[in-house]
Chains A and B, each alone.
Chain A
Amino acid sequence: MQDLADRDYFTDHSILLDPYAYFEALREKGPVYRLPGRDIFVVTGFAEALEVLNNTVDFSSAVSTGGAAMPLPFTPEGDDLTGQIEAHRAQFLGGDLLVARDDKPHTNSRALLSRLFTPSRLKANEEYMTGLAGKLAADAVANGGCDLIKDINVPFATLVVADLLGVPPDDRDHFMKVIAEGVPPGSLDEQERTGQNQPLVVMAGFFVNYLMERMQAPRGDVLSELAAASYPDGTKPDIAELVRLSTFLFGAGQDTTAKLLGNAMRFIVEQPGLQDRLRADSSLLPDFIEEVLRLEGSTKMTSRLARKTTKVGGVEIPIGTKVMISFAAANRDPRRFENPQEFIIGRPKIKEHVAFGRGAHVCIGAPLARVETRIVLEKFLQKTSYIDLDETVHGPRGARRLAYEPSFIIRGLEELRLKLTPRH
């Protein structure tokens, strides 16, 4: 039988149900481990993950959406690949997305988005989020249950980003349909990967119009702010750039949040006594969400390309090789987290986990994802006396049947059928 550590993470569907066992098998080989016969290093150590994420000089993010297994679109030459990467950027899958950019183009674009998720803006949207979550939860309870992913999380996460940006209500249903038909990033099936950015293309047509309208007449929403934004040096971004950024925010924000909510709910129904504890004291929710992020955040890994020969954790990373940083493994590193496989609410310094990454590319929407998750869970706990999985779909406790998205990037359930007992 094939050793677990020798399986191909990028194509093997059997790793999906428990990628954590695979990462533990790799951890045994060391915190920085080169996959045999491949140009890929896997980082499972926490300190080593930070080392890579914080080193934007030696590492490029150009491979972050295509993944570490994608071949480079060029033959590496010289001792610095920066020029070659930029010359071939269009040939990297999603190479012009914000997550994949490097250096000044990345810093500049990110600066445009830096005021979008401040506490005051989130507070302003909280009323909308609370109302929407309350309605979705009430409908689900009235029906006796729901598929949390498709009935609740996807519409919720999509509508919240739409509301925050200022997408007109009439267009929101159309967007949800386009997103529902799209494939998640990091598909294990290679032919699907080229289609992963299709929803962004469709939405781009809409966003051009929204942004042009707001350039004429600002409305105080996020799109108006983007339409008026300047780079730090005072120059104005062109409209194509603004369209790319706004569709990216839309696309990046909804799938990951929907999956995080699903992962969190699975803990709530599977951990004995947890739902009663959270119902009795909802102030535990933020710490609970951080622990879910640590143990089962919705992004398993990201990738970097060594544009210079460098070192990570004392291991030489040759120029042109790729590094896969496993957030899932770093967050379970026993050198950083005591009893890392255990679910413990209230760990010290828990927010330092790397579920959202770290450094220059850390998830810009993390503050929003946290608020969204808290509000939906709050509403479901308030309106129920008991939440359980539907055994006819998922099987009995101890022998659950759960299906995860076939993606090497995303960790999330395809379906989570709940049975909801109303609170009297």
Chain B
Amino acid sequence: MPQIFVTTAKGETHTLNAEPGTTVMMAIRDAGLEGLLALCGGVCSCATCHVHVDPGWMAAAGEMSEDESELLDGSMRRNEHSRLGCQILITSKLDGLRVTIADED
């Protein structure tokens, strides 16, 4: 099973097992890590699963849809590495992925 490394706002890095077919948001939510509300549950309609992807992993994390980009526009924490965790689908290619949970707006 792919492993991903998730850094919280406190700076702690957790190693999570992430099942292919689930999402980065689900892995973080199910691990109960702090700081990720994921209010809409993964339907790409809020921006409360905002993460910053490690620069080297941006391409592997895949393309962003217009909806996702517009939602991220609403966040003051958006930067060039911003993604919504619910829109990054776990595949074997993401084994080793590193993300940081974005600070709450």
Contact = CB atoms under 8 A, between A and B. Distances in A.
A367 B22 contact: no
Interface in B1-28: 20-22, 26
A110 B38 CA distance: 15
Interface stretch (A209-217, A296-304, A356-364): A356-364
11 contacts: A107-B21, A107-B26, A110-B41, A114-B44, A115-B44, A118-B44, A232-B22, A352-B37, A363-B41, A364-B43, A366-B40
The 3 A-B pairs at the shortest CB distance, nearest first, are namely A232-B21, A362-B41, A367-B45
Contacts of B46: 351, 367
B45 A233 contact: no
Nearest to A365: B43
A56 B32 CA distance: 11
Interface of B: 20-22, 26, 29-30, 32, 37-46, 65-67, 70-71, 86, 89
B41 A117 contact: no
A2 interface: no
A120 interface: yes
A309 interface: no
B40 A54 contact: no
B43 A111 contact: no
B23 to A, nearest CB: 9
Give the interface centre of B30, B38, B45 by most chain A CB atoms within 10 Å: B45
Contacts of B65: 118
B21 A111 contact: yes
A99 interface: no
Give the interface centre of B32, B41, B66, B70 by most chain A CB atoms within 10 Å: B41
A367 B40 contact: yes
Nearest to A116: B43
Nearest to A354: B39
Contacts of A231: 21
Given A231-B21, A367-B43, 12 more contacts: A56-B30, A110-B41, A110-B42, A116-B43, A119-B70, A120-B66, A120-B67, A352-B37, A359-B41, A360-B30, A363-B41, A366-B45
A119 B89 contact: no
A207 to B, nearest CB: 21
A113 interface: yes
Nearest to B30: A56
A58 to B, nearest CB: 12
B51 to A, nearest CB: 17
B67 A352 contact: no
Nearest to B44: A118
Nearest to B90: A232
Contacts of A115: 43-44
Contact of B39 (A116, A360, A362): A362
A232 B89 contact: yes
A362 B40 contact: yes
Nearest to A108: B21
A320 B6 CA distance: 34
A359 B46 CA distance: 14
A107 B29 contact: no
Contacts of B22: 107, 232
Contacts of B21: 107-108, 111, 231-233
A14 B12 CA distance: 51
Contacts of B42: 110, 114
